Amino acid sequence: MNLDNPYLLLTPGPLSTTPTVRQSMLRDWCTWDTDYNNIVQKIRSGLLTIGNASEEYTAVLMQGSGSFSVESVLWTGLAPDSHLLIVSNGAYGQRMAKMASMMGAKSTVLSFAETTRPTVDAVEEAISANKSITHVGMVHCETTTGILNDYLPIAQMAKSLGKKVILDAMSSFGGIPIDLSDGSVDFLISSANKCIQGVPGFGFVIAKRDALESCKGNSKSHSLDLYDQWYSMETQAGKWRFTSPTHTVRAFLQAMTELEAEGGVIARNKRYRENYQILVSGMEKIGFKPFLSPELQSPIITAFLEPQSDAFDFKNLYDGLKKEGFVIYPGKVSQAPTFRIGHIGNVFPADIERLCRAVEKIKFW
């Protein structure tokens, strides 16, 4: 069986996976069987290791995309008297705000420009101005632009003020070192199909046990009740409450094994950073300018400004690169026309060099 892909996904996820990850999905599993539930338990334990989480943390898996897991944290983590401060500088902070609004949860959005990192002082001022705030939520890597937010000082400050901290680490966990050992983050959320390089189908939450246990009965959503999901996995040796994406789960265990074999998060981060540097250097030589300055940029995805030419058409670029074996991403920046190229997944410097050659040979205008 040919497990090769016709093109590389240079996107923020789903992303290109290894043949061995895809091959691991060829077997069927029973959700009640101990062999399968042992896989779930290995994953839960492995996630804590990747996050350098202490014994005060636990991990729970949740069906659906990463956004399902974000919403499960909000449904479960917020009590009727909770007040969530959402620190936002992109589309995914705004998505968290929309979820909170549709739930009827009390929330305040502290907005920053898409080219600006949130600051500790601004967040502390917002908390001081509203004593009812109980939770602070923010995104680590905003793939709207590719900006990498400095979450730790904000989390530490919020924790010192007695606030619960929710970190959307969807596009960073497994590709950027995150150390949970200081206990400043109460809920970290990520997804199977991001930097650990699994396939879509579930997200996961690394949570403080005491924070999660205190949430019992909060959720008004049955399917997205994170506490009930965790309690089932915790008391029934890895069993999900409802039918789980068994093939995706098995593929994720393989992806975790391959992350470790590569040298862990530090080695993967090094490869992603090298991909990014080669990409930006090559694209700038062709005439494309990154949207962000280098000091703000993550090694996950880069937004490029579209050329100021009426002849430029993103679809032509997209279609031309697809013929060359690459799929890129449209822009999502509100203030400028951009397109995005990811540098994560089973992608290596030689692939990025090939991409730059392909961009150079396509006629844009």
Domain CATH number, residue 57 = 3.40.640.10
167 in the same domain as 79 = yes
* pLDDT attached to residue 363: 63
Domain end, chosen from 260, 289, 305, is at 260
CB 92 within 8 A of CB 124: no
* pLDDT attached to residue 364: 59
Measured CA to CA, the distance from residue 307 to residue 309 in angstroms comes to 5
* pLDDT attached to residue 2: 47
197, 227, 191: which is closest to 209 by C-alpha?
A: 227
Q: What CATH number does the domain containing 293 carry? A: 3.90.1150.10
CB 298 within 8 A of CB 266: no
Q: How far is CA 62 from CA 18, 22, 223, 255, in A?
A: 23, 21, 9, 18
Q: Which string of DSSP letters, residue by residue, matches 74-137?
A: HHHH--TT-EEEEEESSHHHHHHHHHHHHHT-EEEEEE--TTS---HHHHHHHHHH-TT--EEE
* Kind of pairing between the strands at 141-142 and 164-168: unpaired
The conformation of residue 290, written as its DSSP 8-state character, comes to B
∠ CA 328-331-332 to the nearest 5 degrees?
135
Domain end, chosen from 242, 260, 278, is at 260
CA dihedral sign, ordered 64, 212, 73, 168: negative
SS3 187: strand
The conformation of residue 205, written as its DSSP 8-state character, comes to E
Across the chain, how many H-helices and E-strands are there?
Answer: 12, 14
* pLDDT attached to residue 335: 83
Range of the domain at 357: 264-361
Residue 11 belongs to a domain: no
Q: How far is CA 157 from CA 89, 125, 186, 234, in A?
A: 19, 11, 13, 31
Q: How far apart are the first and last CA of the chain?
A: 41
- Cα atoms in the 13 Å half-sphere on the side-chain side of 298: 31
Domain end, chosen from 210, 234, 260, is at 260
pLDDT tens, N- to C-terminus, the chain (365 residues): 345 678 999 998 899 999 999 999 999 999 999 999 999 999 999 999 999 999 999 999 999 999 999 999 999 999 999 999 999 999 999 999 999 999 999 999 999 999 999 999 999 999 999 999 999 999 999 999 999 999 999 999 999 999 999 999 999 999 999 999 999 999 999 999 999 999 999 999 999 999 999 999 999 999 999 999 999 999 999 999 999 999 999 999 999 999 999 999 999 999 999 999 999 999 999 999 999 999 999 999 999 999 988 888 899 999 999 999 999 999 888 888 999 999 999 999 999 999 999 999 886 54
User: Please, which contacts does 262-265 make with residues 24 or more away whose CB atoms are closer than 8 Å?
Assistant: 264/50, 265/50, 265/174, 265/175, 265/176, 265/177, 265/178
Q: Domain count for the chain, please give it.
A: 2
Residue 6 belongs to a domain: no
292 in the same domain as 230 = no
Estimate to the nearest angstrom the gap between the alpha carbon of 291 and the chain centroid. 20
